[in-house]
Structure 1
């Protein structure tokens, strides 16, 4: 039975109006994803606004000044929900004390009647206007405070500068820090303000800088799910959790292992074990390039390729003179056979991973072409001439190709011995591998179909042929999307879910990644 028989087909009896309403409805493509997660691109201009929104919430709910609200938010990584939970559970005093917020501010030392105050750091006498006091009640001369601030900022502790008094947990008032730094070191004061602003990203579990190089200046804020794949307005797509390139259905751990494996020399070592033998004299690795089992190292030593033992230079076709090879080293043979299997397995998965990754690069041209067709099409033209369906198909193709490429490193670790050796019996592993590979091959087949149809182009064909082509591509787009969903469900429910080891993967999102800007 043909594979396409398993999927719904469009009937030729349906009229043009029906297709105009349903088949070409672009909203249908915007709701293809199985899991919805939202994120926002944070630009440099919107950073201050978003930070102030959080500060205002804390100021209003807990009746705090901005300085104390910021200290509390930084301490709890800008998680308002978490702060409110702790407020109910721990109480106000304990919550504030642990964060370094002074609950009852001291307005000043009871020394206003005295003309001089001694600084307990430099032990010099100063007038009242040469001394500053923090909300905790501790006071020192302005020079000592300023030097303390500069040292802390240069050491990277600018967002939580603690009071100089030993065992005091209070965080210094940012207004005092800013005022003293501006008078002595404006550059450090600007850095301090910048650090406070960027703390919304640096100290926030739900916000991360875009890892683009050179840096675009943007960040990404997610709502709830940190294991997700996002796209910055600069065009870079990446995993929010580990900041690597988009890699689902691989978990972050799998992708980290795969990236290192592709970069290091582990497979080169395996090739050397399989294809070379050490010279018994100088121990250099020798590669056999002839049919005879007598080989010669560059140091001049002759040895037998079969067992690696040294011998003379005279030999015949059937026997090396003075040396009969009948030795057998079981451990050595096992080691070489294991290296051969390991090399063959890695090569199998890497080749297929690379083939789909290369196809993805070429198929990006489809998207560029169809975006131009959509831009140049006239608004009054019928839906199938707007080429929106072709662009949707290209977007779905790129996403599916990405999934297919990454599915091979997933399979390499899922059914190998590195991560899940003790999690499955050999029978369970084989059963799960067969289930996965059937779904993977179905997706692969339909992705190639979609790629072939989109790659033919639409120039020089009649209006009827264009209409029929559009219906076929729409159908293939939906089939590919459904197969992607099913592959993810198989991975999440049948493969990863029963295991004890937690390997969260980013949910499947069809076509373009959803973002708010």
Structure 2
């Protein structure tokens, strides 16, 4: 270990020659290095609308559409802007709109507005009705708002022989919208004309439904709003219980571990606790194995034999191989065959053991070996999990010692190395805990039986366990040092302890990174199985999501303007509903921004000066 990490130790070791205690603040390496900003965002109930508006604005600017059409596109493509842009480039705008049910008609055959003085023919009741009692969708189909009131007398007489359900099916737009909302189809309500694929304008739906059922209109708005989370693979609800009300949005990689503002750390992919270096499937299988009675069954298989009569498991509690079940049946413990109850030193009545049954012996030995193997990994997993819990409880005690040390008269005033050591200890302890379930499945035959030969598996297992053992020994050393009563140490002893903690933190961090690299390059990487992707190692621990900032403007009231202008719940169309290419101004406080994707995965602003774009 010293040879492999000699260079790292030299870089992190600080000689005390010529250094004064007052100059230590500038020399200590910090583990919590400030970053440019978190790529993981917390979406609260208050910022959910702003988060949705941000993606809507992006599509509106790129494709020159109204907000309603942009939402229809994004819901169809599950809020995946990259996929939407790929279809746009590959198939063109016309195919993009057709697949999503977006109908953009610049000039209808009869584009005169519907007013109370105008009349129009309803395609259902075949009646001429005034324009204020009918609605024409962008696809050109026009129906009564409440069609049952305007049925022709002859058609009403025909409906008398029909069922009530059939009669209701002839009601107009309002009833159509109400039925679809109650059926959970709020996000994509299609035109009720036969074989029409157009999606109805949400403003029209909201307006008609609110006149009859205001609460249902609110439900419709809520469904549209929550679609940003329910249908978006890059946004998920925080799995906290009770629920904190927050959602988490990641930028690039779904296989990551995040921390919500409520404090819960979880795997974004499977929404269970953060479990790297285990893959989600490995962790699911491990939890099930620890939870169910599979290992109890294994114990029964190893330590009992089934009665040949009643088939209940029987445990032998003596040295004699003639065993008697509670049902009264006697049988031979060696072979499990039924026997008489009399026996001598050399013979059991009505029985003589036949030849060795190889399959039965193999099954028993296999069950015993599997049980011992599981117990080996489970005991070590539980030991590190228990250590993590105990060390978490000791955190307050250690911080109290830090406070005592800072308040006493001493030349050493900086004890941030203790906090850094605690963070490194907690992070590495979790890595160690989950490395044992990973090893259980990685080097077993349950998941990767045919992917590796026995020799290859043994070689890779030895290399992994060497890294695991070195990490484990250094973590235990760090834990022991942090538990020492350093608040009673002399200044020289504190400096010595400080150097040990700093060096151990760097060495442990390096071991963790090498373990993840080995898993990615030599273990899971060559298998090329997407279901076994794992979250990358982060030296600073699980990334804490930051609050979403929705507007580019720095004005104090810009955010409020963005949240209120053109809101989903507002009945009419806003400035944001206009096509971005129409030259209309946006009074919301957020300037219209065109963005394109960089090779690295992020967006850059097309409105920035050329010299800035070149630098990016």
Question: What TM-score, normalized to structure 1?
Answer: 0.91
1:208 corresponds to which residue? 236
2:439 corresponds to which residue? 411
1:75 corresponds to which residue? 76
Unaligned runs of 5+ in 1: none
1:209 shift after superposition: 0.9
2:473 corresponds to which residue? 445
2:144 to 141, 145, 154: 141
d(CA) in 1 for partners of 2:78 and 2:401? 46
d(CA) in 1 for partners of 2:333 and 2:356? 13
Deviation by residue 1:330-366 (Cα, 9 ceiling, x = unmatched): 1111111111111111111111111111211122124
Question: After TM superposition, what 4+ stretches of structure 1 lie above 6 angstroms from structure 2?
Answer: 1-5, 110-115, 372-383
3-state SS of the aligned residue for 2:527? coil
3-state SS of the aligned residue for 1:208? strand
1:422 corresponds to which residue? 450
3-state SS of the aligned residue for 2:417? helix
d(CA) in 2 for partners of 1:50 and 1:367? 37
Distance 1:14 1:185, change over 3 A: farther
d(CA) in 1 for partners of 2:256 and 2:280? 11
1:475 shift after superposition: 1.7
Is the aligned partner of 1:278 residue 2:306? yes
3-state SS of the aligned residue for 1:167? coil
1:38 shift after superposition: 2.5
Query: 8 Å contact 1:370–1:391 — kept in the other structure?
Result: no
Unaligned runs of 5+ in 2: 147-171, 548-616
d(CA) in 2 for partners of 1:80 and 1:97? 17
3-state SS of the aligned residue for 1:22? coil
Is the aligned partner of 1:310 residue 2:310? no
Distance 1:468 1:359, change over 3 A: same
Query: 8 Å contact 2:406–2:415 — kept in the other structure?
Result: no
Query: 8 Å contact 1:42–1:219 — kept in the other structure?
Result: yes
Aligned residues: 512
2:488 corresponds to which residue? 460
**Alignment RMSD, CA only?**
2.9
d(CA) in 2 for partners of 1:160 and 1:375? 59
3-state SS of the aligned residue for 1:20? coil
Is the aligned partner of 1:516 residue 2:521? no
Distance 1:238 1:223, change over 3 A: same
Query: 8 Å contact 1:230–1:238 — kept in the other structure?
Result: yes
Distance 1:236 1:375, change over 3 A: farther
d(CA) in 1 for partners of 2:109 and 2:411? 75
- Which of the pair is proportionally richer in helix? 1
1:169 corresponds to which residue? 197
Question: What TM-score, normalized to structure 2?
Answer: 0.77
Distance 1:142 1:297, change over 3 A: same
Is the aligned partner of 1:22 residue 2:27? yes
Deviation by residue 1:468-495 (Cα, 9 ceiling, x = unmatched): 3222212211111111111111111122
Is the aligned partner of 1:250 residue 2:253? no
d(CA) in 2 for partners of 1:188 and 1:382? 69
1:308 shift after superposition: 1.2
d(CA) in 2 for partners of 1:14 and 1:39? 44
2:579 corresponds to which residue? none
3-state SS of the aligned residue for 1:220? strand
d(CA) in 2 for partners of 1:84 and 1:381? 64
Query: 8 Å contact 1:37–1:225 — kept in the other structure?
Result: no
